[in-house]
A and B are shown apart, each in its own frame.
Chain A
């Protein structure tokens, strides 16, 4: 293993339309603030995944982008499966999460195959779930924005990471009590945007603690973390105050 902690973002051009670079920025900035050496690699279609991946991020995009990356992603399956089993962190959002699941069935009944690394299958719905979301998890209260038309059916034995207290969620009947996000080892799939990690530093830190522990290092929080988290706290308080009262209707679908 090299000295440097390596973050890889897959298909940033095609799957990166909901501020997914923000999740990469959180991993990068917080690792650097903790004293780690970091390099960030963008991997597109036709480019090989580097070795020694500590964090793999795959973000959100339209169905057409999911189709577009399909064959390249399937060629990369062995390398990505190895990232899952290596204990590295995987953070997959929206369409990226769907591509790592068993697959997605579109409204027209078309199936987009995933890699089957997360234990769920996605059915696209006519109704779009849009608005602030709050959910309780082992990493504390997760807050963010959801904007998707996807219902996740979990495999037998799989359980959601978080339970929705405001908003709709991705798993089960939408609304309070629904499930949101899923965890397999250090790999996470979610429909929480915002992007998720700037708004949820405790969740990010849990992942980063695991990233450095795997290298025998300790994740040390600094004043820089405190400065960022004070702003995150302000953002979270506002979202929590609005999450129960704001209704956003999706039109044009």
Chain B
């Protein structure tokens, strides 16, 4: 959609051309810093930080640039996946999408993404911005970027050293949600979020979720945090506007406003299906009457799995066996991924390093889905193996060195399923991809 630059970007067009030129030095410095950090081999937030320092008024000019507005995706788990889903559905409708790369969800991360796509005067040619945003910065960033749609995915027990109180995390999301001008897409299966106060919203609340049957059939439900502050620990009863009603592996059906949409997800698991229900609701909110179910399905079909989330890579050149990466960052994401397994896998690697400082929570996870793990690796290999031993899961080899662990996995005889599952944290997922010959540094969402 090439009309992007004209009508709806009026607020910034009104700025005199000379006004925009003042951003050139800051953006040039940021682009240079970005080029330098990439040469060094890192996807750093520093360029964005530098540019925000040099030109603090740059980021707010983004707000008015997108004819279809700005979308925020918030949540303890699933931000990256959902941002990716919304982006692909909108692209399938012909829109050009500006988005931030995986995990670059702080203000400097958004500016770094801007540096990659913007002209020297700070123009981004896109119809819509879809941004994953860290809940700690969501309200402030909403004041700067005036999102049209805010998606509130879930409140789950995450890295405790950051936000120990789940009610605080919930309040940060609910507070940000009040700033959405058009719609707030809310998880009705989340104890905290389902109790959103609709009267405090500028936009309309739109609910998504999974049918009661699906939640019941899931071994540990959806693993959203218990509401510890109100008299109702569970959810408030809300009807879903967008609801997952069936899942068969990666094939799912979502009913949006009464109309069923069949989708093929990039990865298995009820949590991904719920993210998909949120994504179609958000896309529908952005597009209004232009939303088409066939285009939504086409968007999902075109979607490559995000790094580490159901991504499949050959175990070695010329071998049929593949590695399916299953990435987790906390107890809920590990539990939901384990629950999505179809029978105990034949070949399993599990590895965690110091990128996840505290792993006390692995004792809160049920490992019933596994009967054995072939190789345990990473700096925390012995801690992981110890937990698996107490869970009664057989462990083959404990090899803290990841490169050696990968060789051990390659040396195992092939199986009928021709598939290994590597359960890993983010850092080891990146390392593992590289060891398998897929070492792209920047995590793009294209």
Contact = CB atoms under 8 A, between A and B. Distances in A.
Interface of A: 13-14, 16-22, 25-26, 29, 61-65, 67-68, 128, 130-131, 145, 147, 149, 193-195, 198-199, 227-228, 231-235, 237-238, 242, 246, 248, 250-253
Contact of B386 (A67, A193, A232, A252): A232
B54 interface: no
Given A62-B165, A64-B228, A252-B136, A17 B386 contact: no
B389 A193 contact: no
Contact of A62 (B167, B385, B389): B167
Contacts, number: 117
Contacts of A195: 360, 363
Interface string B370-398: 00000000011111011101110000001
Interface residues of B, number: 35
Contacts of A130: 161, 357-358
Contacts of B386: 198-199, 228, 231-232, 234-235
Nearest to B386: A231
B357 A62 contact: no
Contacts of B361: 17-19
B354 A63 contact: no
Interface string B327-367: 00000000000000000000000000010011111111000
Interface in B44-90: none
Nearest to B392: A29
B390 A22 contact: yes
A204 to B, nearest CB: 11
B1 to A, nearest CB: 38
Contacts of A18: 160, 358, 360-361
Given A17-B361, A145-B357, A198 B161 contact: no
A246 B354 contact: yes
B228 A250 contact: no
Contacts of B387: 22, 198
B382 A147 contact: no
B382 A238 contact: yes
Nearest to B231: A68
B167 A198 contact: no
A198 B382 contact: no
Which 4 A-B pairs give the minimum distances between C-beta atoms? A22-B363, A234-B382, A19-B363, A19-B360
Interface in B268-309: none
- Taking each of B157, B165, B228, which has the highest tally of chain A beta carbons within 10 Å of its own beta carbon? B228
Contacts of A21: 363-364
A29 B363 CA distance: 14
B226 interface: yes
